[in-house]
A and B are shown apart, each in its own frame.
Chain A
């Protein structure tokens, strides 16, 4: 019992601060008194003697203070050593005691580690994506600018027009700076061939907006950000390290970017990227203030609000400026356009623009793993209870021998804290692995993924949870120790389990089942949602199709003919490969980058009365629909003849045809682009319903134009960076990649190949599918863990109860109850817990359904099949979990029980 005394000693020292001061005062006073007596003995008056003694002593207060400080430092040092010794001693003791029941320790640690690991991983994701501010200086001042056009589509957002952006930059007073940007896949010729690089075209203002600093050289400044300035580039830090080995001599050299000589003027500071895009190379955007204003919205813009200017004020200013557009740029913005589209300009906090509505999904997922952790904690709490039960006699004896409640608490606490801390370390390892895996899997639709990782936030989070859980587990058995003592005094034997204990145990099991119902219902709803989504017909045949991007250098492919010639030869050589059925190109790829919408005008529609449809308008090569497996329900595809003769045929989707020409034959109807004069293009073909914007979206409206514009129609630039689709006869189309690479190298070594993936992968990575599968995956894991953990919990408690009621069961058997009846009683007990849990869980599931409904696709949050399925699953579980204990109950030998009573 020496350790106990030591601890009291340590505790006493803690309370002895005042004692130290008194001791010092007494010691000094003794000195003064002795000196005074000495002088009195020499014949001085007491007053004079005291004064002389003080004189010799010096300033009493100062010495007292100095001495006391030394003593205090000494005391706190001793306290620290004692505390450390105590921790070591207790830990050793706890380890020894845990080692006596290794199964308990392993089980508790593993259960907790799973729960803690999952929760910490999800928390780290939420922290990185939602909670942490964007990685720029004063990020709360950054806003994203765009234009809602509610008259065209409720959720449509247009970027700014060139003229609009320059006008806002000139006029808006609420902004410290405005920056414009655009991104594209460029090519850079390096030693090992053409590289695909992510290029950001940015205005000089954006450097100011992001408060970007160069790591080396200089950044994009107004003098290089003008049309006609020499081509310059700033390298991204990571790209510089990866490609140039962080060689500072790269500054001032020329690189071939997009096949044009470009001078490297600087390297961007480490870690600075666009809000949601990694950037290899930064180039000036070079907006031209003298170019004629156009109603073409392609300029992405970020602004930095001035200090002290609230968002609302900037909004109001933008609104006022926007209403003047028709007056300033009458050729681009007509009053009727403004009125009908509801065109305005808005500023959104940049963080919200980047994160979007993902935060909701992440909070739901964090909530579900939190529930798993709770279930795990209930199991571990039960383990601790069972263990403390086994040691109750020991504890009761100890407290009878004078160990106070605190001593016992201290013991239990060290043990449970130790278990929780080991679980915490293991959980952190799990979380680290899970996060690495997540980042490597690159689930699409999860923004800021490259910022995700296990940081100190996650460590603190896990540590906090572990300490909390450890304290709770440690203190739990204490609730009863007083009563046990009383009982020990009364009889000295037969510590029957109190009702209270069983109530807590039963309550925990009921809670576990309830939480498991909630989680399984969530997983079930998600599963149905995912199935429904998978059964949606995208309107194309994704199997056996390979897709990839190429970029033709601007310098050598300047005309439509040159681009067409390349495509024609390239596609012909692809189609000549064994196993390839057909191949084609397009500017857009369904379910990957099908966005963007431009106003279209159908022949015979009046501008003033009809809403202009806002439609995606890809340019496609011949044989595109055949290659992608999109059925044509009317007419024909575009052909090489169409392209070369600059014919005016277009293909439209069924959804568009139905809206523009309901009940009429769409073939031969006229349609043209954004606000320009006739002549019209003519519809030559109609596709089936094509869900190119997402499987959860209605069928897309689109006009497929020829790669090169028809004679006499408004021009667009030659399509130099198309996506190629290749239909093959094999289920592993990616095996074609080396052949494709070889053909490209033979045709033009400066053309890079990028984003090689099968069409099936494109579908799987499209946001709605990716989000559904990501959520389903995580909820599935959470639900599975919940199921397993509650089964273990249920089994544990039922076994325990059977063990406790052995006597009663034996008597029943002796009195003639059949074994089956006894077993039935046990199963019934398990079903009672489960039934209560089901009722609570279903109530919880209804509440949870409200939160979850935003993530569901065409499944009601109260889907009866899912809820019934979950109930059936748990009832089965309850029967299975009680099977073992029930058998044991039925085999109780009445004679043996009666003897032992």
Chain B
């Protein structure tokens, strides 16, 4: 069973992937797949609108370069802005998961008891 991704989470994952240095889209996809053991239900195509949107916002920079097998490919580099964004998103993600797990582990109390 593969998990659907929450809205906006994909951006964070891509930014995280790019912390390792400039990558093209295929490398990002492969890294995500390897890292999650293919547990996420993401169409690979959806990476590209996300990458371009982040380029427009200035979180990543796009440059054409040459891939490991000598083909023209577009490489994405994390900008300072993007790094800030990643920090913000991952800390709020941490708060969210913490809060959710607190709720899930708590014992429910009946109203008016």
Q: Is residue B43 within 8 Å, beta carbon to beta carbon, of the partner chain?
A: yes
- Render B1-39 as a binary contact track against A, CB cut-off 8 A, 1 for contact: 000000000000000000000001110010000000000
> A31 near B25 (CB under 8 angstroms)?
yes
Residues on A with C-beta less than 8 A from B55 are 74
Q: Does A661 reach chain B (CB closer than 8 Å)?
A: no
Distance (Å) between the CB of B49 and the closest chain A CB? 4
CB distance from B59 to the nearest CB of A (A): 13
Contacting pair B25 A27 (CB below 8 A):
yes
Closest to B52 in A: A70
Structural contact, B29 and A31, CB atoms closer than 8 A: yes
Whether the Cβ atoms of A30 and B73 lie closer than 8 Å is yes
Contact A56 B26 (CB under 8 A): no
Given A63-B49, A70-B56, A56 and B25 contact (CB-CB distance below 8 Å): no
- In the assembly, what is the distance between CA of A110 and CA of B55, in Å? 49
State A73–B25 Cα separation when bound (angstroms).
Answer: 21
Q: Quote the shortest CB–CB distance from A72 to chain B (angstroms).
A: 10
B101 interface residue per 8 A CB criterion: no
Tell me whether B24 and A30 are in contact (CB under 8 A).
Answer: yes
Instruction: Tell whether, in the assembled complex, residue B45 and residue A28 are in contact, meaning their CB atoms are under 8 Å apart.
Output: yes
In chain B, what residue has the closest Cβ to A61? B45
Tell me which residues from 48 to 84 in chain B have a Cβ below 8 Å from any Cβ of chain A.
48-49, 52-53, 55-56, 67, 71-74
A59 at the interface (CB under 8 A from B): yes
CB distance from A49 to the nearest CB of B (A): 14
The bracket for how many chain A residues form the interface is 20 to 34
Q: Tell whether A11 is near chain B: CB-to-CB under 8 Å.
A: no
Determine if B56 and A73 form an interchain contact, defined as CB atoms under 8 angstroms apart.
yes
Q: Give the chain A neighbours of B52 by CB distance below 8 A.
A: 67, 70-71, 74
Whether A27 pairs with B44 at a CB distance below 8 angstroms is no
On chain B, the residues within 8 Å of A66 by CB distance are 48-49
Q: Taking the nearest CB of chain B, how far is it from the CB of A306, in angstroms? A: 59
Residues of A within 8 A of B74 (CB): 23, 27, 30
The verdict on B111 contacting chain A, using a C-beta distance below 8 Å, is no
Q: How many residues of B contact A (CB 8 A)?
A: 19
Interface string of A6-31 (1 = CB under 8 A from B): 00000000000000000110111011
Complexed CA–CA distance, A33 and B48 (Å): 15
Are the CB atoms of B48 and A27 closer together than 8 Å? yes
Residues on the B chain within 8 Å of A62, using CB? 45
Task: Say yes or no for B91: interface residue by CB 8 A criterion.
Answer: no
| Closest beta carbon of chain B to A35's beta carbon, Å | 7
Partner of B49, one of A30, A31, A67: A67
Asked whether A34 is an interface residue with its Cβ less than 8 Å from the other chain, the reply is: yes
Contacts of A60 in B (CB 8 A): 45
Does A777 interact with chain B (Cβ within 8 Å)? no
Any B CB within 8 A of the CB of A865:
no
> For A63, what are the chain B residues with a Cβ–Cβ distance below 8 Å?
43, 45-46, 48-49
Interface-central residue, A23, A70, A71, A77, by most chain B CB under 10 Å: A70
A57 within 8 A of B: yes
Q: Are B49 and A35 in contact (CB under 8 A)?
A: no
Chain A residues closer than 8 Å to B25, beta-carbon distance: 27, 30-31
Q: Which of A34, A60, A77 has the most CB of B within 10 A?
A: A34
CB of A604 closer than 8 Å to a CB of B:
no
Rounded to whole angstroms, the CA-CA distance of A59 and B25 in the bound complex is: 16
**Measured CA separation A27–B26 after assembly (Å):** 9
B24 to chain A: which residues have CB within 8 Å? 30-31
Residue of B nearest to A73 (CB): B56
| A490 CA to B36 CA, complexed, in Å | 74
Q: Is the CB of A35 within 8 A of B26?
A: yes
Alpha-carbon distance between A62 and B52 when the two chains are bound, in angstroms: 14
* B residues near A67, Cβ cutoff 8 Å: 48-49, 52
- In the complex, are the beta carbons of B44 and A57 less than 8 A apart? yes
Asked if B46 contacts A58 (CB within 8 A), the reply is yes
Residues of B within 8 A of A28 (CB): 45, 48
In angstroms, Cα B72 to Cα A33, docked, is 12
Contact partner, B45, options A23, A26, A58, Cβ 8 Å: A58
- A35, B67: Cβ atoms under 8 Å? no
A224 to chain B, nearest CB (A): 67
Identify the closest chain A residue to B54 (Cβ).
Answer: A70
Q: What's the minimum C-beta distance from B44 to chain A, rounded to whole angstroms?
A: 5
Residues of B within 8 A of A77 (CB): 56
Closest beta carbon of chain B to A60's beta carbon, Å: 6
Complex Cα–Cα for A77 and B52 (A): 14
Smallest Cβ distance from B97 to chain A, in angstroms?
27
Q: Chain A 56-97 against B: per-residue CB contact (8 Å), 1 yes, 0 no?
A: 111110110011001101100100000000000000000000
| CB atoms of A27 and B49 under 8 A apart | no
Please, how many angstroms separate the alpha-carbon atoms of A23 and B52 in the complex? 12
Task: Tell which of B43, B49, B73 has the most Cβ of chain A within 10 Å.
Answer: B49
Residues of A within 8 A of B26 (CB): 30-31, 34-35
Q: For B25, give the chain A residue with the smallest CB separation.
A: A31
Nearest-neighbor residue (CB-CB) of B53 within chain A: A70
Q: How far is the CA of A60 from the CA of B48 in the complex (A)?
A: 10
CB distance from A897 to the nearest CB of B (A): 64
Q: Are A74 and B56 in contact, CB atoms less than 8 angstroms apart?
A: yes
* Smallest CB separation, B26 vs chain A (Å): 4
**C-alpha spacing A31/B44, complex, angstroms:** 9
Residues of chain A within 8 A of B48, CB atoms compared:
24, 27-28, 31, 63, 66-67
- CA A35 to CA B45, docked complex, whole Å: 12
Binary interface encoding of chain A residues 25-57 relative to chain B, with 1 for a CB under 8 A from any of its CBs, else 0: 011101101110000000000000000000011
For B71, list chain A residues within 8 Å (CB).
30, 33
Q: Residues 546-567 of chain A: 1 if any B CB is under 8 Å from the residue's CB, otherwise 0?
A: 0000000000000000000000
Known: A31-B25, A70-B56. A59 touches B45 (CB 8 A): yes
Q: Report the bound CA distance from A501 to B48 in whole Å.
A: 60
- A474 CB to closest chain B CB, in angstroms? 36
B66 CB, nearest partner CB in chain A, Å: 11
Which residue of A26, A33, A58 contacts B44 across the interface (Cβ within 8 Å)?
A58
A324 to B72, CA, bound (A): 95
CB-contact partner of A35 in B43, B44, B56, under 8 A: B44
Shortest CB distance B62–A (Å): 9
Q: How far is the CB of A29 from the nearest CB of chain B, in Å?
A: 10
CB distance from A322 to the nearest CB of B (A): 76
Please tell me if the beta carbons of A30 and B43 are within 8 angstroms of each other in the complex: no
When chains A and B are docked, how far (Å) is the Cα of A287 from the Cα of B76?
A: 87
With CB as the reference atom, state the residue of chain A lying closest to B29. Answer: A31
Residues on A with C-beta less than 8 A from B53 are 70
7 intermolecular pairs with C-beta atoms under 8 Å apart:
A26-B72, A30-B72, A31-B26, A59-B43, A70-B53, A70-B56, A74-B55
Going nearest first, the 10 A-B pairs with the smallest beta carbon separation are A58-B43, A63-B45, A58-B45, A70-B52, A74-B56, A34-B26, A66-B49, A57-B45, A31-B26, A67-B48
Other A-B pairs beyond A34-B67, A62-B45, A63-B46, 15, CB < 8 Å: A27-B48, A28-B45, A28-B48, A30-B67, A30-B72, A30-B74, A31-B24, A35-B26, A57-B45, A63-B48, A66-B49, A67-B49, A70-B52, A70-B53, A74-B52
